[in-house]
Amino acid sequence: MSGLVGQGVARVDGRAKVTGAARYAADQEVPGVLHGALVMSTIARGEVLEIDRRAALARPGVVAVHTHADMPRLNLPNFPYNRPFIPMQDTRVHHHGQPVAYVVAQTLEQAQEAAGLVKVRYRAEDPVARMADVLDEAFLPDDFRDRPNEYSRGDAAAALGQAAVRVDRTYSSPMQHHNPIEPHTTTAVWEDDGTLILYESTQGVVFARNTVQIAFGMPEGSVRVVSPYLGGGFGAKGPTYPHTLLTAAAARLCGRPVKLVLTRAQMYTSNGHRAEYRHHLRLGATRQGALTAVVSTSTAQVTRVDENVYNGGDSTVRLYACPNVHVRQLGVRLDLPTSSYMRSPETTAHFGLETAMDELSYELGIDPVELRIRNHTEVDQQPDPPVPYADKRLLECYRAAAEAFGWARRSPRPGTTRDGDEYVGWGMATETHTHTVIPSRARLTIGPDGRATLRAATQEIGTGTYTVLTQIVCEGLGMPLDQVTTLLGDTAYPDASLSAGSSTMPSVAAPAAEAAAKARNAVIALAVADPRSPLHGVPAEEVVARDGRLSAGGDRVDTYRAVMTRHGRSVEVTGDKRNSTPGHSFGAVFLEVRIQPRLGRLRVTRVVTAHDLGRVLNHRTARGQVIGGVMWGLGFALMEHTMVDPATARVVNPNLSTYLVPVCADAPSVEALFVDRPEPDAELAGIRGFGETPGTGVPAAIGNAIYHAIGRRLRDVPFTQDKLL
Amino acid sequence: MRAFGYTVARDPAEAVRLAATTPGSTFVAGGTDLLNLMRDGAETHDHLVDVNRLDLGGITVGSGALRMGGAARMRQVAEHPGVRREFPMLSEALLASASPQIRTMASIGGNLLQRTRCGYFRDAASPCAKRVPGSGCPAITGQNRGHAILGGSEHCIATHPSDLAVALTALDATVRLLGPGGERAVPIAGFYLLPGSTPDRETAMRPGELITRVDVPRTALAGQSRYLKLRDRATFEFAVVSVAAALRTRGNVVRDVRLAFGGVGTRPWRDTRVEAALRGRPLTPQAIDEAGRILVRDAKPYEGNRFKVELVQRALVSVLGELGGLR
Ligand SMILES: Cc1cc2nc3c(=O)[nH]c(=O)nc-3n(C[C@H](O)[C@H](O)[C@H](O)COP(=O)(O)OP(=O)(O)OC[C@H]3O[C@@H](n4cnc5c(N)ncnc54)[C@H](O)[C@@H]3O)c2cc1C
Ligand code: SF4
């Protein structure tokens, strides 16, 4: 064992990324490529009456202007296609910013100019844009992806009625957008044999391939999706979206490759969002702080044509020990695009739960950490009967983070800690998120030169997948880092996990490790069977692989390179082991805010986290994930807000100068601790998904710290200065 | 965005001539606002006359005034030692604007003429009386958190976004123009127009005029000034509310004061009644409160920006308190 797994190995693709050598989807140079531009609906509800293409077609370089009239009819795929319709199949407009025409031109500038010249006449109906206006029409939507929107155990209503102490509050968050820095992009290339290559910025090449195959009625294996790097996704590139299908269709129509890059503004209506959300939460507890009832009714924006709820309230059901729970996830139909999973979707509901727990702690006069400890559970209560967690170390997280933060020094009374003209507040929250596991395979090849290459059709979303898989393979083979290459993001490789739902590592780590072990054994078998090897005749299990050398003690030493050179051919193996199950990662976040209430100024100055994610595969990338999560949590709490015009249902701030996300100057210091329990006997046991856990508690922790600082309880994000005055 | 022509002018006279003789033309300096407006379809121009090569980049602090060339960069002015020493609020206003990258590109002239960040204005598919006269103002009943509480009309309530312009308004700057009709100077107080029924007309500039220079009188008052900017994140954002303040006191008594406000008015907002309420009086919390009430006496808030009425008064208390050593 070279012990590489766990170390804070620097990114193996870091140099390529900072030097520009890394080729992102839109960087792929495709000879003869044409450029696409979308014409988007300017109404939110109604019908296209007429599209005048003449001015656009008359411009130089314009090859085609497609509309619903000539777009090929496509099959509507199910999830992970994230729309209940395919645009440009008929005249119906379901939301503003829906593609109604597709321009193809020789250059990007020509395409964009022509798109501006397409004139569309509509019959417009009045849209409903504001949830507040139609709350009384909330309904219980159908199950989505086999998940019911109602859940119940015990008798929550009765328990709430009898509870000694109650909290009954409503929490809310607005529409938000993912805003990865790299826009969505697709380049579609049809080959002479009728197959299709898509250079796509996607969190799931396999998902995208399957979706496109269904839409075009193509046989399996006839579409190849390539996505070697992503400039972020945050869920926006998990499902497949209309622009991908439309680009493939446009390329087929004109018989040339077509490239489309969405504009930033188009990304506010094309790729889902976090739905506007209201959360009515009622907690009942004993005077000692034991939860006796949780009654949760959430309302999320859905559309007139689908009712998918993406903001599941998992933590409300599972996080704390409580015998009586009733959760209902309602929807309200608005004339907006379909929402989607966005950056730890469970944060949406978790913000309410963790704020309500803080409110309960003040009702009871129990420290917020102590209250959570009293409600800690070692069993997953959702299944019936409940299932014990294999190894949940949340209590250690509370302890470690509280100590590093200095929580014991906190004066519990709100509004009592001052520093000059600033009020100082300390708040905390539990962090948790579900992770999924997706069946995955990985292929490992050791060439005649002794170098190893891992191939898997998962993605590098920016979190360090290349690095961590390389570490795993190196450790399994006993090879130095520079001898192993990992290739991802191409459906030419074995099918592997989506990079979403915190699933990449729990899904792909085990197949990669398995492949490495198999390959190591295969090479050792070659060596001990080869009379030219110093290891000839040694029992295979006595050979130890390390740093590229295979040794059995003394001078009985061979190397991967020597064995493979003599062998003269490659060794190729595949791993498909599944040794994680879907589950949860846990943690705690403690943070400090400083507020000048006179001016409504607030800064988050200090954050300490502790997480239990099973085995930490790379401390550096795990810490990066925590910092990223904290920053997005800050955005959720303090500024992110997609504004929709109430009359037209158009997004009013579809750009990064008025849709605010945190900048470096907003960044607090972050101390990230890990309860890291490597289990050396079981090579890769104990791996859990971690992508989405950090940050889930941050919005509530900030609100809780604000309350502690100035005694004002905020329940409606973003907490902008007007709410702090 | 539409295709457009492009010419680099070599001297101011040529720039003015090119602009006057080329239909559908306008000047471009850093392009940090203009190109975004053109991409978004909020403005269309057939031709751009580049003014970056003109000899208009100088910054001098003379005995009587600071002179900034119209093509001086925001960053150069902000970092100029004389500006920092003698006109701290100018430097602070610029450093609180945009980002280092944008400040390096963007010019003083362009900064003064940047357009509002009102989302309806920048969305070519939306009605907006400033962009399309007569099409109405959806902000009044729509999303108006960023909008003005002072100086609005039923036709437009957009704020002017420039921080620099607020500071220049407090300091009685003069904008020097060169146009087809020759040179002229416009005091900043008359430079920006109220929207009234013509929100598309934002300044007193005539067609084809070039900003060649901005002069700021050098006074003892300017040396004791501050720019306070409040916003929704730590940096790289326009003002929710800002105050440019200069104050001279003798003992506790206000000898002179200049105040201008950003984020609250349809133009950089100055109300000399507010200054008059303070001048000659002891600088006390009560005096500042009274001045603040005068400022917002005619305020007309909307659903999303009601808080600005209170916030701007508190900002005034804060900045005067600091300048006057009240805390
Ligand atoms: C993300 C972002 C954040 C920003 N934040 C702030 C902020 O916080 N505070 C702030 O004040 N500003 C802010 N800005 C605006 C920025 O300051 C302006 O974009 C910049 O000052 C414009 O200068 P420019 O030279 O690039 O002008 P251009 O974009 O080149 O031109 C703007 C306008 O001025 C005209 N023009 C330019 N020079 C002259 C001249 N010499 N004579 C006559 N007309 C001329 C042009 O024709 C055009 O109409 C921000 C901008 C962005 C993109
Ligand atoms: S406030 Fe002014 S700029 Fe904004 S929509 Fe109304 S008219 Fe247009």
Compute CA A69 distance to the chain's CA centroid, rounded to the nearest angstrom.
36
Task: Read off the amino acid at residue A33.
Answer: V
Q: How many Cβ atoms from other residues are within 10 Å of residue B274's Cβ?
A: 24
pLDDT the model gives residue A676: 87
CB-CB under 8 Å, B138 with A645: yes
All residues of chain B having their beta carbon less than 8 Å from the beta carbon of residue A42 are: 125
Distance B42 CA to ligand 1 centre (A): 15
User: Predicted confidence band at B10 (pLDDT cuts at 50, 70, 90)?
Assistant: very high
Testing the interface with A: which of B123, B132, B229, B312 to mutate, by most A Cβ within 10 A?
B123
Where in the sequence is the domain holding A98, given as residue range(s)? 32-126+181-232+237-270
The number of CA neighbours under 13 Å toward the Cβ of A184 is 32
**Residues whose CB falls within 8 Å of the CB of residue A105, separated by 6 or more in sequence, listed in order:** A34, A35, A37, A59, A61, A62, A63, A111, A114
Together in a domain, A446 and A565: yes
Quick one: A218 and A244 in the same domain?
A: yes
Give the number of domains in chain A: 3
Strand partners, A575: A442
**Inter-residue contact B3 to A109 (CB < 8 Å):** yes
Does the residue B265 lie in any domain? yes
- Determine the Cα–Cα distance for residues A561 and A538; give it in Å rounded to an integer: 19
Mean pLDDT over A29-55 rounds to: 98
Q: B57 with B214: CB under 8 angstroms? A: no
Please state, in angstroms and as integers, the Cα–Cα distance from residue B131 to each residue in A39, B46, B156, B198, following that order. Answer: 21, 17, 10, 10
Q: Which alpha helices (H) appear in A307-346, and where do they start and end?
A: 314-318
DSSP state of A417: -
Three-state SS for B318?
helix
B120: nearest CB among A600, A652, A666: A652
For tokens 């300490």, name the residue.
A608
Residue nearest to atom 16 of ligand 1 (CA): B111
DSSP secondary structure string for all residues of A674-701: E-----SSSTTTTB---TTSTTTTHHHH
Query: Would you call A112 an interface residue with chain B, using a CB distance cutoff of 8 Å?
Result: yes
Residue whose entry in the numeric block shows the structure tokens 């800002």:
B242
CA of B276 from ligand 1 middle (Å) equals 33
Per-residue confidence (pLDDT) for residue A581, from 0 to 100: 82
Number of H helices, E strands in chain A: 16, 29
How do residues B208-241 score in pLDDT, each as one tens digit? 999 999 999 999 999 999 999 999 999 999 999 9
Residues A564 and A687 in one domain: no
pLDDT bin (cut points 50, 70, 90) of residue A680 is: very low
d(CA A724, CA A704): 13
- Which pLDDT score, from 0 to 100, does residue A92 have? 98
Q: Which of B41, B98, B43, B49 is nearest to B73 (CA)?
A: B98
Residues A281 and A392 in one domain: yes
Give yes or no for a contact between B317 and B295, defined as CB atoms under 8 angstroms apart.
no
- The model's confidence at residue A152, banded by pLDDT at 50, 70 and 90, is very high
Residue written as tokens 């609180």? B96
Domain of A43, CATH number, reads 3.90.1170.50
**Residue A173 lies inside a defined structural domain of this protein:** no
Within this chain, do residues A354 and A445 fall inside the same structural domain, yes or no?
no
The pLDDT of residue A434: 94
Where is A387: in which H helix or E strand? strand A387-388
Q: Which residue is closest to A598 within chain B, CA to CA?
A: B314
Q: Is B3 exposed, middle or buried (0-12, 13-18, 19+ CB in 10 A)?
A: exposed
Binary contact (A603, B234; C-beta < 8 A): yes
Interval A721-725 mean pLDDT:
94
Give B315 to chain A, closest Cα distance, Å: 7
Q: What pLDDT, in 10s, does the model give residues A529-563? A: 999 999 999 999 999 999 999 999 989 999 999 99
**Domain check: are A697 and A565 in the same one?**
no
Of A421, A449, A413, nearest in space to A598 by CA: A421
Nearest CA to ligand 1 atom 7: B97
Residues A657 and A720 in one domain: yes
CA distance A303 to A98: 14
Closest listed ligand to the CA of B227? 1
The residue whose CA is least distant from atom 6 of ligand 2 is: B137
What CATH number is given to the structural domain containing B280?
Answer: 3.30.390.50
pLDDT of residue A683: 54
Burial A406-429 (b: 16+ CB within 10 A, else e): ebeebeeebeebeeeebbbbbbbb
Q: Chain A, 259-298: which have a CB under 8 Å from a chain B CB? A: 265
Interface-testing mutation among B44, B117, B233, B313, with chain A (most A C-beta atoms within 10 A): B233
B211 Cβ below 6 A of ligand 1 = yes
Would you state the structure tokens that stand for residue B34, as one six-digit string?
């203009």
Mutation pick for ligand 1 pocket among B27, B54, B169, B176 (CB with most ligand atoms within 8 Å): B27
Confidence of residue A1 (pLDDT cuts 50, 70, 90): very low
Ligand 2 centroid to residue B229 C-alpha, Å = 23
Choose the final residue of a domain: A575, A606, A639.
A575
State if residue B32 touches ligand 2 by the CB under 6 angstroms criterion. Answer: no
Determine, for residues B230 and A638 on separate chains, whether the beta-carbon distance falls below 8 Å.
no
Domain contains B144: no
What is the C-alpha to C-alpha distance for residues B327 and B323, in angstroms, rounded to an integer?
9
Say if the Cβ atoms of A650 and B240 lie within 8 Å: no
Closest C-alpha to A490, from A538, A442, A561, A425: A442
Q: Are both A375 and A400 inside the same structural domain? A: yes
**Exposure of A222 in the CB half-sphere (CA atoms within 13 A):** 16
What is the per-residue pLDDT for A678? 64
Instruction: Name the residue of chain B whose CA is nearest to A265's CA.
Output: B40
* Residue A668 contacts B where some CB pair is shorter than 8 Å: no
Whether residue B65 is predicted with pLDDT greater than 80 in this model: the reply is yes
Which chain A residues have a beta carbon less than 8 Å from that of B238? Answer: 657
A717 pLDDT tier (thresholds 50, 70, 90) = very high
Residues A423 and A531 in one domain: no
CB of B136 closer than 6 angstroms to any ligand 1 atom: no
The letter for the amino acid at B98 is A
Average pLDDT rounded to a whole number, residues A40-61: 98
Q: Is the pLDDT of residue B25 over 70?
A: yes
Strand ranges, E, within A475-527? 484-488
Q: Does some domain include residue B58?
A: no
What domain count does chain B have? 1
Tell me which residue has tokens 């998940």. Answer: A147
Distance B156 CA to ligand 2 centre (A): 5
Of B142, B233, B314, the CB nearest to A645: B142
The answer, yes or no, to whether any atom of ligand 1 lies below 6 A from the CB of B162, is: yes
- At residue A278, does pLDDT exceed 80? yes
Nearest ligand atom owner, CA of B29 = 1
- Of A575, A595, A626, which residue is a domain's last? A575
Residue A684 has pLDDT above 70, yes or no: no
In this structure, are residues A560 and A450 in contact, taking their beta carbons and an 8 Å threshold? yes
How much is the pLDDT for A640? Answer: 98
What SS3 state is found at A282? strand
Interface touch A421/B123, C-beta < 8 Å: no
Counting ligand 2 atoms within 8 A of each CB, the residue from B116, B122, B141, B197 with the most, and so the one to mutate, is B116
Question: A258: which strand partners?
Answer: A34, A188
Nearest CA in chain A to B2: A113
SS3 A62: strand
CA–CA dist A435, A338 (Å, integer): 23
- For the beta carbon of residue A383, count every other beta carbon within 10 angstroms: 9
Tell which atom from ligand 2 comes closest to the C-alpha of B157: 1
Q: In chain B, where do the E strands start and end? A: 5-8, 25-28, 47-50, 59-61, 65-69, 174-179, 182-187, 210-217, 225-230, 241-250, 253-262
> What ranges in A278-330 are assigned the alpha helix state H?
314-318
| Beta bridge mates, A285 | A165, A291
Average pLDDT, chain A: 96
Q: Does any ligand 2 atom lie closer than 6 A to the CB of residue B118?
A: yes
Residue A235: band (very low, low, confident or very high) from pLDDT cuts 50, 70, 90 = very high
| Among candidates A645, A665, A721 on the partner chain, residue whose Cβ is nearest the Cβ of B311 | A721
Look at phi and psi of residue A222 and say left if phi exceeds 0, alpha if psi is from -120 to 50, else beta: alpha
Report the C-alpha gap between A344 and A311 in whole angstroms.
9
Q: What is the pLDDT of residue B136?
A: 97
Q: What sections of A541-598 are H helices per DSSP?
A: 560-567
What pLDDT band is residue A3 in, cutting at 50, 70 and 90?
confident
The CATH number given to whatever domain includes residue A623 is 3.30.365.10
Q: Which pLDDT belongs to residue B1? A: 79
Residue A324 is classified by DSSP as -
Query: A599–B3: do the CB atoms touch at under 8 Å?
Result: no
Residues in a beta bridge with A6: A618
Q: Are residues A400 and A261 in the same domain?
A: no
H or E element that contains A357: helix A347-364
Query: Does residue A133 belong to the interface with chain B, where contact is any CB pair within 8 Å?
Result: no
Is the per-residue pLDDT at B53 higher than 80?
yes
Count Cβ atoms within 10 A of the Cβ of residue A229 and give its class: 0-12 exposed, 13-18 middle, 19 or more buried. buried
Query: Domain for residue B252, yes or no?
Result: yes
Q: Please, are residues A610 and A400 in contact by the beta-carbon 8 Å criterion?
A: yes
Contact B143 A116 (CB under 8 A): no
Dist. CA B162 → ligand 1 center (Å):
8
Q: What's the CA-to-centroid distance between A544 and ligand 1, angstroms?
A: 66
Cα nearest neighbour of A114 on chain B: B2
A686: confidence class by pLDDT, cuts 50, 70, 90: low
Q: What is the pLDDT of residues A438-480, one digit of tens each?
A: 999 999 999 999 999 999 999 999 999 999 999 999 999 999 9
Whose tokens are 């079981």? That residue is A682
> Residue B112 C-alpha to ligand 1 middle, in angstroms?
7
Range of the domain at B318: 225-323
Among the partner-chain residues B41, B123, B327, the one whose CB lies closest to the CB of A650 is B123
Please indicate, yes or no, whether residues A264 and A305 belong to a single structural domain of this protein. no
pLDDT at residue A681 in the model: 42
Asked which of A521, A543, A575 is the last residue of a domain, the reply is: A575
- The percent of residues in chain B predicted with pLDDT above 70, rounded, is 100
What single string gives the DSSP state of each residue in B189-226?
HHHBPP-TT-TT--BSPPTT-EEEEEEEE--HHHHSEE
Reported ipTM: 0.96
Q: Between A619-638 and A698-710, two packed helices, what is the crossing angle to 10 degrees?
A: 60
Rounded to an integer, the average pLDDT of A374-401 is 94
What pLDDT does residue A390 have?
82
Q: Is residue A258 part of a domain?
A: yes
- Cβ of B137 below 6 Å from ligand 2: yes
* Contacts with B3 from chain A: Cβ below 8 Å: 109, 113
Before A80, cis peptide (omega within 30)? yes
Which of left, alpha, beta for A464 (phi over 0: left; psi -120 to 50: alpha)? left
Question: Is the preceding omega at residue A718 within 30 degrees of 0, hence cis?
Answer: yes
Residue nearest to atom 32 of ligand 1 (CA): B110
Burial class (CB in 10 A: 0-12, 13-18, 19+), A537: exposed
Q: State whether residue A408 sits within 8 Å of chain B by CB.
A: no
How remote is the CA of residue B132 from the centroid of ligand 2, in Å? Answer: 10
- Whether residue B51 lies inside any domain: the answer is no
How many CB atoms are closer than 10 A to CB B304?
16
* A15-22, long-range: CB < 8 A, 24+ apart: A17/A229, A22/A228, A22/A229
Distance CA A474, CA A493 (A): 19
Indicate which residues of A carry an active-site annotation: 692
Mean pLDDT of B154-178: 98
Average pLDDT of chain B, as a whole number: 97
C-alpha A141/C-alpha A129 separation (Å) is 19
Nearest to A666 among B40, B143, B234 (CB): B234
Omega before A385 cis (within 30°)? Answer: yes
Which residues on B lie below 8 Å from A722 (Cβ)?
307, 311
Cβ pair A116:B41 closer than 8 A: yes
Rg (CA), chain B: 19
Q: Which residue is it, tokens 């780590």? A: A509
B156 lines ligand 2 (CB under 6 A): yes
Distance CA(A274)–CA(A311), nearest Å, equals 8
**Any idea how long chain A is?**
725
pLDDT of residue A579: 77
- The Cα–Cα gap between B246 and B244 comes to 7
Flag if A113 and B3 touch (Cβ within 8 Å). yes
Structure-token pair, residue A286: 């004993």
